[in-house]
Amino acid sequence: DPKDTFVSFYHFIARYSKSQNTQPIQLDEAFELFYEGVSMYGSYWDHVLGYWKASLERPDKLMFLKYEDLVEDTVLYLKKTAEFMGYPFSSEEQQQGVPENIVQMCSFENLSGLEVNKIGKHREGQGNLEFENNIYFRKGKVGDWKNYLTTEMSQRLDQRTLQKLSGSGLSL
């Protein structure tokens, strides 16, 4: 969902700015930039559409997943990903609960709670490139955008998404 993507990206930038002791961008300003496609990674919609089209052209090389689907049925999508990579779970592994154990070990709650992700640093000793690992963890919740965006912002992003994805066969 572009709304959740925007909110997550905004919080990442805000936390990074704080770690660098620089003035963080305000939510309204960040929203307008995101809406207009101005970002260090380019337009969100162009980025997503590029991968969507590549997944249609080369389905054997690129698997397109939506975060919301992954969260809804993580075990199913883990199995699909393993199969896509050419390493499907055996019947024995499935009976032993290996996929479920992997999902538990890789859960947001587990990974965000690891000591290295609470106090560790990424690119430690590399000046402005150094920041705390916890910058990568916020909430991991689908729909959290509702706590940050106004109704108008939400509607504008929905309209822009429909406009940008029109005719692609992709819906977000």
Cα(68)–Cα(138) distance, rounded to whole angstroms? 16
Q: pLDDT tens string for the chain (172 positions)?
A: 999 999 988 988 887 777 677 888 899 999 999 999 988 788 999 999 999 999 999 999 999 999 999 999 999 999 999 999 999 999 999 999 999 999 999 998 898 888 887 877 777 776 666 677 777 777 788 899 999 999 999 999 999 999 999 999 999 9
pTM beyond cutoff 0.95? no
Domains of the chain: 2-165 (3.40.50.300)
Give the whole-angstrom CA distance, residue 117 versus residue 102.
18
